[in-house]
Amino acid sequence: MIRSTRASATLVAAAISLASLASTAEAAGGGAKELMHPHFGFEGVTGHYDKEALQRGYQVYRTICSSCHSMKQLSFRNLGQKGAPFYLDECPDGVPETTNCSNPNDNPIVKAIAAEYQVQDGPDDYGDMFDRPGVPSDPFPRPYPNEQIARLANNGALPPDMSLLVKARHHGAAYIYSLMQGYAEPPASVEIPAGQYYNEYYPGDMSQYLKPEYKDAEGHPLEGVEVPPGGVFAMSQPLYDGMVDYADEEMPETIEQYAKDVVEFLTWASEPKLEERKKLGVMTVIYLVVLCGLLYASYREIWSKVDH
């Protein structure tokens, strides 16, 4: 009896592990529209990043988002690590054979990306600071030297650091994907303050922006007045069709595609070890299932020898 309880307890444990691995998103809360959930390759039990999408996503971040959003946790060399957008198994043609391109510091693509920037260094022998081209060990440059300047440039709002943004928001990937596409003409019933922008997926309460003729004396919406979904915040629409040129001619240059790619990149940035974690999860479940089988077989074997 005791043994059979143990065997079933193991089965239950295996079932719980499986269920938690396959857990999926619940519905979005707040007054915002329900989020769009495209298919992301990194979701699911065997999910992994799409390297080309990661590269395009970096391009979108670099061209558009990086002018306001920092990524303090990233250095250029992270782009060349295993599983990263520009990781190289072997060197491309033309690179000397003695180079080890799987080492991010020697990866020629990463070196070229870093060298596009001028970074401040020093002091030199004369005590002066100087600019030099970036190298892989340099952190990603920040768009603003400090928070005050960042706020001054953005109507008082602070663009959040993007290193962990996907984790910091509820259903981060679907949320950011939807937010990029959620800019809409504000409905006629609301008045949007200057320097603020209406977005159907931003969590907020639009009743406070209703024009006076749609509210009663206490500020509640009049009967029959529908409060629009979404909210307002200080980021103007960052993406438009055609604004980033993709090298791959087949790739659509649309807000939707840019949004999908930049989310892939931001998800990688917030969880670069996702693939390893998922592989480990799958191995653990296989291990548990095999263990269950063995336990069950030995239980049958042992108890078959007992006379009834």
**Which residues of the chain form contacts with ligand HEC (CB under 6 A)?**
60, 64-65, 67-69, 154, 157, 159-160, 165, 169, 176, 179, 233-235, 238-239, 262
Shortest distance, position 65 Cβ to ligand HEC, whole Å: 3
Residue 30 buriedness (CB in 10 A; 0-12 / 13-18 / 19+): middle
Is the bond preceding 221 in cis, omega lying within 30 degrees of 0?
Answer: no
Shortest distance, position 298 Cβ to ligand HEC, whole Å: 53
Residue tagged 């999860």 (tokens): 281
Q: How far is CA 300 from the centre of its chain?
A: 49
Selection from 96, 218, 234, 213 nearest residue 158 by Cα: 234
User: 107 vs 267, which CB is nearer to ligand HEC?
Assistant: 267
- Cβ atoms of 252 and 261 within 8 Å: the answer is no
User: 80 vs 159, which CB is nearer to ligand HEC?
Assistant: 159
Shortest distance, position 262 Cβ to ligand HEC, whole Å: 5
Burial 62-71 (b: 16+ CB within 10 A, else e): eebbbebbbb
Shortest distance, position 106 Cβ to ligand HEC, whole Å: 30
Shortest distance, position 159 Cβ to ligand HEC, whole Å: 4
Shortest distance, position 202 Cβ to ligand HEC, whole Å: 7
Shortest distance, position 92 Cβ to ligand HEC, whole Å: 29
User: 4 vs 208, which CB is nearer to ligand HEC?
Assistant: 208
User: 71 vs 88, which CB is nearer to ligand HEC?
Assistant: 71
How crowded is residue 114: how many other Cβ atoms within 10 Å of its Cβ? 24
Cα–Cα dist 49/86, whole Å: 12
Cα within 13 Å of Cα(249), Cβ side? 0
Integer CA distances (angstroms), 221 to 196, 197, 231, 292, 296, in order: 21, 21, 16, 59, 64
Shortest distance, position 191 Cβ to ligand HEC, whole Å: 17
User: 135 vs 153, which CB is nearer to ligand HEC?
Assistant: 153
Selection from 253, 240, 262 nearest residue 183 by Cα: 240
